[in-house]
Chain A
């Protein structure tokens, strides 16, 4: 359909809304309630434009689909005045506390008032006041005075998260956002309402008053909390990680991140982080610490146990694999916190293809806990694309609150048998079918489930997605270095990262630890070396669909802290394995050549796209 917006012709598919068509040609129509991931509602009336043919009044561009031959006037006197009047209404009760507001500097209300509003305020009357700030959870504060009642947050909870934790109380100008029964927010997806809020009504309590937006630099990185690999922006100020926000990648996260990714970053700035290698509890140089470790672990074969972190990068795993094929051959390698699922399946379902599935089957997994953003993607497929959902779990999971979802219960421990019985289930007779499977938080045999799911998928022509739990579990499985579940019986133990599930085994003759924080069992370690976090480490992760994504660290490791690949290279040198990598690109090139699953490493990360220029809309009235 071709229409004209302020004299510019634009051709868009049928059903496109006027705001989206205007965005394509760079004409700014200000919006509060409209959000491209939520259904249009027309609550804030800020997007008023003049249409012809159409009624002789301004119409909302966010609820009106385009029509053939339509003429939209964004800068006509009526449209400009209508929007300025609406902004004046929005500001009648808005407290002008921008100097203390965390949204100040990146606030659409500020920007739109500047670009579309009247230059002076005529409001003399007292403004509406509410108690503020109101903590609606440990991590989110609500300021009702600043709210412009766009309902983005409540609609997000209803449409996207299916949680119904936020609601609107009272009517008209007295309306205010409240949590259900004044209970604190429980959802693991609550943080997204901070990004959604177009004003400073919903702000992060973790980042509260830490910095202003213009103080910070940010890098386009990847979340390290789980295997989904959501794209995030990491914000840095004065050598500290300030906050984490979502960065929309429609193929993975669709613009949302979970609260783990958004709020679990404060440890990066902790003064208690380990900073210095220690040998027998006294500070030592890296060379001494690494040569002590090398001397103790070299050639021990199966008597050596290695524990690697969930967020090990592909590059670190590659360098470790070189050691395990050489001087550390035969060592037992475990990854605490991972599932028991085997390596990548043959017919992988991509996250973005969930939208096109006719039927989605979730087997033995609490998707909300293991892969939170995949959970939102499944909900989107059900709510917006009409996919049918079948959950196969011993108990009801959060999907089952949706009335159309079918649930198949099974006796705990018999998930694989339950999967085989699905063969003639009526929902699976029509494709495409996507099967998501986990190991029920370790309660089921992941290998048996994977075999059963592979059989079922082959029989009915479905695609499958294993829900790995550890961040880079899939990358490590592709390298094939994991070969155990516990370190019991190992005499020489090198732990890297988070504590082992069962603690350090008894009877250990040598213990070395590589960690970012001190842990109780470090007292028994002969050598402790400090580790970097996701905000300092270079490298890449393989997410649960096999996509390789690069970390872009906003912080430099503070000396003597060193990056993981550098330490592993030096450990290799101490073990007598020559290598001369001068930078991570060389590691990535070699890893790409050695493993087909890491072939994407050969292509260096694309530089971040330049920020979109601010579209200048209508001048002020």
Chain B
């Protein structure tokens, strides 16, 4: 790079200064008139895609039985190993899900989960789904172990009974 001769300094004129100021203020006031794209979270929230992968739910059938059959394929598919399933056998006295098998223990470590959705994909009965909620902060690590009771969606039959009363 060749050295250039130093530029001759010119005294700024007042007119040019004012034009510059007006340009700047023009941008400022122009932005005020444009539509706002920031959101006042948490009062306001952005819309989410229908396929957003947030907090998990365990679904039920219309008759209130749990969909989960405790097959552990979600746990096998999980790349971070955050799902624990312990299965048990349905009996006539204690029918939890249709068929022979149900999940006695179903736990997800939400701190470890990466919300990839592989569990949902692996599930043969569409029991585990990832819902839209993403506000999962809490005050202690223990509270991030979501148990089956926390993950299960409410019993539709019980809900209807409560609505009726």
Contacts and interface: CB of A to CB of B under 8 A. Distances in A.
A214 interface: yes
B87 A209 contact: yes
B76 interface: yes
A214 B71 contact: no
A209 B88 contact: yes
Interface in A187-237: 208-212, 214-215
Contacts of A210: 86-87
Contacts of B71: 99-100, 104, 212
Given A133-B100, A209-B87, A100 B69 contact: yes
B76 A100 contact: no
A61 B76 CA distance: 36
Given A133-B100, A209-B101, A215 B72 contact: yes
B91 to A, nearest CB: 12
Contacts of B154: none
Contacts of B73: 99
Interface in A86-100: 97, 99-100
A155 B95 CA distance: 37
Interface string A92-117: 00000101100010000000000000
B95 to A, nearest CB: 14
A212 B101 contact: no
A150 to B, nearest CB: 23
B155 interface: no
Nearest to B100: A100
Contacts of B100: 100, 132-133, 209
Contacts of A104: 71
B157 to A, nearest CB: 24
Given A133-B100, A212-B72, A212-B76, A99 B124 contact: yes
**Most chain-A Cβ atoms within 10 A of its Cβ — which of B73, B87, B100?**
B100
A208 B69 CA distance: 14
Interface in B4-24: none
A209 B72 CA distance: 10
Contacts of B72: 212, 215
A209 B89 contact: yes
B99 A100 contact: yes
B87 A214 contact: no
Contact-residue bracket for chain A: 10 to 19
B62 to A, nearest CB: 21
Interface residues of B, number: 15
Contacts of A100: 69-71, 99-101
A209 B76 CA distance: 15
Contacts of A97: 99
Contacts of A209: 70, 87-89, 100-101
Contacts of B86: 210-211
A132 B69 CA distance: 16
Nearest to A209: B87
A208 B76 contact: no
Nearest to B71: A99
Interface string B83-112: 000111100000000011100000000000
A121 to B, nearest CB: 15
B89 A208 contact: yes
A97 B72 CA distance: 13
Nearest to B124: A99
A211 B84 CA distance: 11
A214 B78 CA distance: 13
A165 to B, nearest CB: 24
Nearest to B125: A99
A99 B72 CA distance: 8
Contact of A99 (B69, B88, B89): B69
Contacts of B87: 209-211
Contacts of B124: 99
A133 B99 CA distance: 10
Interface in A538-553: none
Interface string B113-141: 00000000000110000000000000000
A181 B123 CA distance: 41
A214 to B, nearest CB: 6
A261 B50 CA distance: 54
A97 B101 CA distance: 11
A496 B89 CA distance: 37
A203 to B, nearest CB: 11
Contacts of B88: 209
A99 B69 CA distance: 8
A215 B86 CA distance: 10
B51 to A, nearest CB: 24
Interface in B133-157: none
A212 B71 CA distance: 8
A214 B76 contact: yes
Nearest to A100: B101
Nearest to A96: B124
B145 to A, nearest CB: 15
Nearest to B72: A212
A209 B88 CA distance: 6
A29 B11 CA distance: 94
Nearest to B104: A209
A132 to B, nearest CB: 8
Contacts of A99: 69, 71, 73, 124-125
Interface string A131-146: 0110000000000000
Nearest to A205: B89
B39 to A, nearest CB: 42
**Most chain-B Cβ atoms within 10 A of its Cβ — which of A209, A211, A215?**
A209
A14 B100 CA distance: 49
A129 to B, nearest CB: 14
Nearest to B97: A100
Nearest to B76: A214
B131 to A, nearest CB: 23
Contacts of A132: 100
Interface of A: 97, 99-100, 104, 132-133, 208-212, 214-215
28 contacts: A97-B99, A99-B71, A99-B73, A99-B124, A99-B125, A100-B69, A100-B70, A100-B71, A100-B99, A100-B100, A100-B101, A104-B71, A132-B100, A133-B100, A208-B89, A209-B70, A209-B87, A209-B89, A209-B100, A209-B101, A210-B86, A210-B87, A211-B87, A212-B71, A212-B72, A212-B76, A214-B76, A215-B72
Given A209-B100, A212-B76, 8 more contacts: A100-B99, A104-B71, A132-B100, A208-B89, A209-B87, A209-B88, A210-B86, A210-B87
